[in-house]
Chains A and B, each alone.
Chain A
Amino acid sequence: MAAIELRGVVKRFGPITAVDGLDLEVPEGICLGLLGPNGAGKSTTMRLLTAQAIADAGTLRVLGHELPADSKAARAQMGVVPQLDNLDVDVTVEENLAIFARLYRVPDVGAAVDAALDLSRLRGRRHAAVDQLSGGMRRRLLLARGLVHEPRLVLLDEPTVGLDPQIRTELWTLIGELKARGTTILMSTHYIEEAERLADEVAVMHRGRIISRGHPVELITEHAGRQTAEVYGPPDRLAEVRAEAESRGLPVRPAGPAIAIVGSERGGDSTIPEDAVLRAASLEDVFVLLTGEEAE
């Protein structure tokens, strides 16, 4: 049984179709990275999975439960780590965890809180009020709160959005530990590096549906080839290089101040300028080629 099975799911908000015929299956025990630009429908998908949004069409099953009818039973076994910090700021770290242990009907609240404190390395701050915590600690607490009932499935909605690199790395370590325990994870992100590091499989979401899916390495080989050549220079020259590469059927994408010729190994020596910087093709190349949007 797959942990998540979505078939033909549609969700509209007035004239906007946020999720547009989404098919998504997440097998138990894997970490699936849902990668997509802002507005791709990732957050709406997350809300559909907790029945905080109700689909206009399609079928949704989570941990064997039909949504939205049986969503409460699904939510009991699912942990959610939201994009926005919605901790209770006036109460202590411990109370934040205890409240959610109770909401999840955990039999031994004290033991669950201790385990969550250990996991988030916040044991020493258990009596601190949340508004006294650093940004990184708050994020760790948010993660621990979603895991306090040892869920089978965890939804991580942009878990490190807006965080500085050090805190991001800290969280990646914690998510890595969660993966090692065999918990099924669906993680939405628009950070390529996050998907590369943590996801067993990546599904690229664009305009409300999955446009490509696979192991990061497979996706790169399939869509981007082996090598990317980045060329820097004045706009006129970049336009010339671009036209030449495209005439030979090579995809070219903007890469900040440069252009990137993707799959440059297929182009032959004359296509790729000598001063080009060669690097291995990346998931970012795939992402930009597929979605047409610059990645972060």
Chain B
Amino acid sequence: MTEQRRMRRLEPAAIAGVMSREAANFRTYWKGTTFSSVLEPIVYLLAFGLGLSATLVDEVNGVPYIQFVGTGMVATAVIFSSALPAMFGTFVKHRFQNTYDAILAAPVDVEELVSAEMLWIGIRSGTYGCIPLVVTIAFGLDPAPGMLLVPLFCFVTALGFAGFGVAMAATVAKIDQFNYVTALFVTPLFLVAGTFFPIDGLPKGVQVAAQLNPLHQLVELVRGGAFGFEAVDLLRFAFLAGFALLTWRIAVHQMHKRLID
């Protein structure tokens, strides 16, 4: 019998319990996810890196184009392994599988549930985000000590996009409304992140807007890790942490509205 005791906010045991559920499910589908996460950057690097550098671009700011794209691909891997799983996963668990009803009947609050979902995606995406970097190293990029920070950069960015995805899942009425979210947010953020071309060639207004794109900040941090950090990178990291904090609170708020009558 469980003993009488007061329960605190954000209990590690509740968060760990929810994450253990994600981990148990992940064991059933990790092979497919990992396969595509490894294959995708290889295909991109072959198509863009080799294809473009053979014909149009040789290097960007003194960096061989294939290494430029490869380091930028980290951000692509992060957004697609965080925002999309958070959106679809949350929606499916809430609406189709009624998973959250079961979890919230246990001593778990919405805040703990959302935090656990975000942390799990953060860890997963932080890991998968490193794959393009490893692939690029295989394509000739020199390893650098700064790269050891890349998992942390990916983790924090993924937390932010996980929060974004959870908040969106709690906001849309139907699953096909994710098309709007993808077209309005995910694709533009992914394209104007400086992954495939440097943003300093873009019009001034777009350049300023790109500074607000967390994915762009991640791209810059990863390149900092590979080719040398600058002082401004601290600000970039702070921006990503702020983004994660903001989407966390929004996600908790939206999920509370959705899950508690």
Contact = CB atoms under 8 A, between A and B. Distances in A.
A186 to B, nearest CB: 13
Nearest to A53: B261
Interface stretch (B34-42, B101-109, B244-252): B101-109
Interface in A81-107: 82, 84, 86-91, 95, 98-100, 102-106
A285 to B, nearest CB: 34
A20 to B, nearest CB: 16
Q: Most chain-A CB neighbours within 10 Å: which of B4, B29, B107, B261?
A: B107
Given A76-B7, A99-B21, A86 B97 contact: yes
B99 interface: yes
B106 A103 contact: yes
Contacts of A64: 4
Q: Do most interface residues of chain B lie in helix, strand or loop, or is the interface mixed? A: helix
Contact of A99 (B14, B20, B107, B261): B20
A86 B99 CA distance: 6
B194 to A, nearest CB: 38
Please tell me the size bucket of the interface on A.
Answer: 35 or more
A238 B36 CA distance: 71
Contacts, number: 103
Contacts of A103: 14, 17-18, 21, 103, 106-108
A161 interface: no
Nearest to A129: B28
A169 B27 CA distance: 36
Nearest to A155: B105
B1 A86 contact: no
B20 to A, nearest CB: 5
Given A99-B20, A103-B18, A104-B107, A53 B260 contact: yes
Interface in B1-31: 1-2, 4-7, 13-14, 16-18, 20-21, 24-25, 27-29
Q: Do most interface residues of chain A lie in helix, strand or loop, or is the interface mixed? A: loop
Interface stretch (A44-52, A114-122, A171-179, A221-229): A44-52
Contacts of B28: 90-91, 129
A242 interface: no
A83 to B, nearest CB: 10
B107 A73 contact: yes
Given A86-B98, A103-B18, A149-B2, A75 B105 contact: yes
A89 B105 CA distance: 18
Contact of A91 (B2, B25, B98): B25
Q: Most chain-B CB neighbours within 10 Å: which of A47, A75, A89, A149?
A: A75
A283 B107 CA distance: 36
B25 A90 contact: yes
A91 B1 CA distance: 26
Given A51-B260, A52-B104, A73 B5 contact: yes
Given A105-B2, A150-B1, A50 B105 contact: yes
A99 B24 contact: yes
B141 to A, nearest CB: 37
A52 B7 contact: no
A70 B28 CA distance: 36
Q: Most chain-B CB neighbours within 10 Å: which of A47, A76, A77, A103?
A: A103
B107 A76 contact: yes
6 contacts: A13-B261, A52-B259, A53-B261, A73-B6, A99-B24, A150-B2
Those 3 A-B pairs whose CB atoms lie nearest each other, nearest first: A86-B98, A80-B105, A53-B261
